[in-house]
């Protein structure tokens, strides 16, 4: 994004790649800012299609459909980091793509991501590239066990990784994971997982939300609690690291950074996501500006909003049929968000609830 690009005017159309819940929530935020939206997704049942009249149902490799989409919009963003590199390059040649192709390239490859972080002196767990089984054995010698073997690409919600407890498990783990190449990471004895959602716009303004403390269940995020039970220094460092990352990427948009917190409060970056983030859904209920509006403001080249938090909150994902009780059981202090997915499936993220906790009522 060029540093002095003019802010897009009201009534512009934002093209969004991906029609899941994140695309849907981005489209809702864009509408609040007076924007039109156009959703591009191969899945004809995409929940984001319910919040705009403008959609394209086509593969991400369909260049005719991509060209028509680009012609219909003023700026393009996305809800997921696995936008194919060729798709990103093709679209970026036609309309501004924000965040840009470099952010995608770094975030969609674990090895590129770790190299980027290391070059920028941001701490990550010890790791090694695993081009073949011999490299895995060598890396296990150096890093030790337990360690986690992961695909470099296309992993999410715990998919695409194997814990290796002894060197004897190496060959099976190597054979089980695809696509190759792989990466081996030391198994870090972390105490907590936290994340920071940070925004940056083309003028170089940055704004980080408070760190959230994340708990997973069956490898899927279950709750994000804010404030996280961490020291003030750790919280400040987490925000600073997140701001350093978007600065180093010359980034425009919102980005999620997941951290491991060690016993001494030290932080290691686990991974980054160049998009709005599940662990930032709490911002919707209690921040002056939420992550979705913040992303849209950044993508439009508008001034960023205030990320200040007004109350404590616990965000709880509604997985599978948990969502169905919501119309009856919803409490007064609960702010629900349901994604409008046509089919309830086990393990599927169907919505979330923000439970607002007011510590100090206004006078």
- Where along the sequence are the contacts to its own copies (CB under 8 A)? 7-11, 24, 28, 31-36, 49-53, 55, 207, 285-286, 288-289, 293, 297, 300-306, 308-312, 323-324, 326-340, 342, 351, 356, 358-363
- Nearer to its own copies by Cβ, of 52 and 225: the residue is 52
The nearest distance, CB 223 to its own copies, in angstroms, is 18
Q: Which is nearer to its own copies, 3 or 328 (CB)?
A: 328
Q: Bridge partners of 94?
A: none
Give 293's contacts (C-beta < 8 A, 6+ positions apart): 29, 32, 33, 305
Shorter beta-carbon distance to its own copies: residue 219 or 236: 236
In angstroms and rounded to an integer, the radius of gyration of the C-alpha atoms of the chain is: 20
Choose between 251 and 302: whose C-beta lies nearer to its own copies. Answer: 302
| Residues 6+ positions from 144 with CB-CB distance below 8 Å | 186
Instruction: Compute the least distance from the CB of residue 342 to its own copies, in Å.
Output: 7
Residues 220 and 159: their CA atoms lie apart, in Å, by 10
CA end-to-end distance (rounded Å), the chain: 45
Using CA atoms, how far apart are residues 272 and 277, in angstroms rounded to an integer? Answer: 10
CB 141 to its own copies: min, Å: 49
Nearer to its own copies, 11 or 346 (CB): 11
Q: In the complex, what is the shortest distance from the CB of residue 32 to its own copies, in angstroms, rounded to a whole number?
A: 5
Kindly write down the DSSP assignment for every residue of 170-233, as one continuous string.
HHHHHHH--SSPEEEEE----SEEEEEEEEE-TT--EEEPPPEEEEEETTEEEEEEES-SS-HH
Q: Which is nearer to its own copies, 95 or 335 (CB)?
A: 335
User: Measuring CA to CA, which residue among 14, 151, 135, 34 is closest to residue 74?
Assistant: 14
3-state secondary structure of 275: coil
């Amino acid at each position: 994004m060029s540093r002095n690009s003019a802010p897009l005017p009201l009534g512009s159309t934002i093209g969004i790649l991906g029609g899941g819940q994140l695309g849907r929530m981005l489209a809702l935020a864009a509408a609040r800012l007076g924007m039109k939206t156009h959703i591009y997704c191969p899945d004809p049942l995409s929940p984001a299609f319910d919040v705009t009249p403008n959609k394209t149902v086509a593969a991400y490799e369909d260049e005719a459909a991509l060209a028509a989409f680009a012609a219909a919009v003023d700026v393009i963003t996305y809800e997921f980091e696995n936008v194919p590199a060729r798709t990103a390059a093709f679209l970026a040649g036609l309309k501004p793509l924000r965040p840009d192709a470099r952010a995608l390239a770094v975030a969609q490859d674990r090895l590129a991501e770790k190299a980027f972080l290391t070059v920028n002196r941001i701490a990550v767990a010890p790791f090694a590239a695993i081009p073949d089984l011999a490299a895995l054995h060598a890396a296990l010698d150096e890093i030790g066990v337990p360690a986690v073997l992961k695909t470099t690409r296309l992993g999410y919600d715990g998919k695409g990784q194997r814990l290796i407890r002894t060197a004897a498990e190496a060959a099976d783990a190597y054979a089980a994971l695809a696509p190759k190449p792989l990466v081996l990471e030391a198994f870090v004895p972390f105490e907590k997982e936290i994340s920071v959602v940070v925004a940056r716009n083309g003028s170089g303004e940055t704004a980080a939300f408070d760190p959230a403390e994340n708990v997973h269940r069956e490898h899927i995020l279950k709750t994000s609690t804010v404030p996280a039970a961490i020291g003030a220094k750790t919280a400040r460092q987490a925000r600073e690291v997140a701001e350093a990352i978007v600065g180093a990427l010359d980034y425009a948009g919102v980005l999620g950074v997941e951290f491991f917190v060690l016993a001494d409060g030290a932080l290691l970056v686990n991974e980054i996501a160049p998009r709005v983030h599940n662990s930032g859904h709490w911002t919707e209920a209690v921040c002056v500006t939420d992550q979705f509006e913040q992303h849209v403001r950044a993508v439009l080249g508008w001034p960023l909003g205030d990320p200040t938090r007004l109350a404590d909150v616990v965000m709880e994902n509604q997985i599978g049929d948990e969502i169905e009780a919501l119309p009856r059981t919803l409490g007064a202090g609960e702010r629900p968000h349901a994604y409008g997915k046509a089919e309830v499936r086990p393990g599927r993220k169907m919505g979330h609830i923000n439970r607002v906790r007011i510590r100090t009522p206004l006078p």
